Amino acid sequence: MENECPILHSPFSILHSPFSMIIFLYGSDDYRRIQKKRELIAEFEKKHSGLGIGNFDFAAKEGIDAFEGFMRNQSIFETAKLAAIDNAFEADAKQLAKLLQPFLNDKAASILLAEREKPVKALGFLIEKPAFFQKFENLEGAAWEQFINAEAKDSGLHLASDAVRFLAAVYQGNSWALATELRKLSAWGMGRPISKKDLDMLDLEAAPNYWMLLNGMKAPDVRTRLYAFEKLMALNDPPAKLFNILASQWNAKLAQFAEYDFAVKSGKLEYDDALLDAIL
């Protein structure tokens, strides 16, 4: 059964758990998922050292071989290990399962994976005990507003309730853009609570609704597509994120996006150029 693993809220207990050393973070909220990944790596480094951390990209040709070498060899300077894997699902699912399963109950090393998608059946053990796992879905309602308040506090801001509601509406489904906006507001240096009126004075646009803009990139009219593209790029979302979301939703251009993806990974194209070409 797919459940969030509650122990993930305590990084200290994860990285010293006697039960399992595979940690899997997944879900559509890229910002919160990546923040958790960074938090876990920082906790490991605080307890041990950076010498025991290995970063591996399975989209790269040498990624899996480098990972296997890291897991096989023991450093004389650091006994604890943390292998952080990017683009794990770029590897063949059966090969990846065979690679990871021996470490489910291995006490000698931790393996950390963070992916947007839920694992396929062959990798289903990643969201089952004894693995540790946590799902990061886009927040809504009260949970979304609580997140905004927490992020504002971390940025040294105090938001009035009407400002929180406004930001919640503007950035619904886009925590990356919200965090970016809060960092901009923190540079403003206001000593009192920031209200909706203050945000109006800053000319913050109320709403390009994120998903509405994504759908706008598929509109029949090229002017609408270009407008939506410009607004989305202004939100400072990673172009790779926009590309992957659009590719998963635009069935009519699935083959075309596959060609773009190959071109990007071959170094012949950038994600923003691929997006622009797709909508023109």
- In a shared domain, residues 89 and 150: no
- In a shared domain, residues 230 and 122: no
Residue 260 forms part of a structural domain? yes
Among 66, 36, 38, CA closest to 54: 66
Q: What is the mean pLDDT of the chain?
A: 82
- In a shared domain, residues 44 and 120: yes
- In a shared domain, residues 185 and 92: no
- In a shared domain, residues 61 and 20: yes
Rounded mean pLDDT of 252-280? Answer: 87
> Where is the domain boundary, 135, 158, 175?
135
Which of 34-43, 49-58, 209-218, 224-233 shows the highest mean pLDDT? Answer: 34-43
- In this structure, what token pair is assigned to residue 198? 């203050």
Residue 1 forms part of a structural domain? no
**Number of folded domains that form the chain:** 3
Write out the residue range of the structural domain in which residue 249 sits. Answer: 210-279
List the Cα angle 215/216/217 in 5-degree steps. Answer: 90
The pLDDT confidence band at residue 25, using thresholds 50, 70 and 90, is: very high
* CA gap 155, 26 in Å, rounded: 25
- In a shared domain, residues 92 and 30: yes
Examine the pLDDT at 231 and tell me if it is beyond 90. Answer: no
Instruction: Give this prediction's pTM.
Output: 0.67
> Where is the domain boundary, 106, 135, 164?
135
